[in-house]
Amino acid sequence: MNTTPPGGDYAPHLHEHRAPVEPARPVRAVASAAAAPMRLADEFFYLAHDDQSGRSRLFESATAHGLAAALLAELCWERRITFEGRHVRVTDPSPPKDWLQHLVLDRLVAEPRHTATRTWLAFLATTAYEQVADRMWQRGMLRQQQVGRLRRRIIYIPTDMNTAAWSWARLSYQLRNYQRLNAFDVALAGLALHTQLDPILLDGAPLAARAFLREQVEQAPVPLRDLLADLGAVVGGAVLSHRTT
């Protein structure tokens, strides 16, 4: 899957930067995927893909930028970074336990001059799909499958359809029944809203359900709202470009 987003050259200097050595990764998990705690990017990956076929529900750039934003949000959740206006600020450079969070944080620390959130969304989006899928594969949440005859490529299929469907079912049910979302699901709903996944998530629901979704996201903490605002602007620009090409 080509995850290079429109606007991926937003910060060409980052692409020239030599990335830090990636922390040692764990071997692929053999236990049930449900045994491992869920990460925000993992749940968004499930949300953005069909729970049976693994087919994307979004166009590639929206998926890639949504995953990039989810990885940044994970670091914010771990109190390693925060968002101030349209900029990312590292608050704690100590490495997280998760190898992918560690890798993203190392990149942020290595480029202190470049703080614009959109710059980092564009940069991280170029690799976010493969990295999140790899992390989920290692934990036994996805399996790899080769498809295509002339152009072979690897797609990722959920190993447990019920686990994969849970993110979608939980969020859709709560929003359709006007149930308050916890902090994790507010972030997940915000990613869905700002990648324009909400019309599919709430297909057939009354307009009041969509208004309730926006209300929940608008009540998120300010740093998260700042991140989501930049995500929405990047995805909106990519959608406009996609429709005019």
Across all residues in the chain, what is the average pLDDT? 86
Domain definitions of the chain by residue range: 12-27+36-244
Render pLDDT for 35-64 as a digit per residue (tens, 0 to 9): 456 899 999 999 999 999 999 999 999 999
pTM: 0.85
Question: What does 79-134 look like in DSSP terms, one character per residue?
Answer: TSEEEETTEEEES--SPPSSHHHHHHHHHHHH-TT--BHHHHHHHHHTTHHHHHHH
Structure confidence at residue 18 as a pLDDT band (50, 70, 90): very low
Contact 168, 48 (CB under 8 A): no
Query: Distance between CA atoms of 63 and 69, rounded to whole angstroms?
Result: 10
pLDDT at 78 over 80: yes
Look-up of token digits 């740093």: 223
Reported confidence tier of residue 20, pLDDT bands at 50, 70, 90: very low
The pLDDT of residue 243:
54
Q: Are 185 and 217 in contact (CB under 8 A)?
A: no
Q: Does domain 12-27+36-244 have CATH number 1.10.3630.10?
A: yes
Is pLDDT above 80 for 71? yes
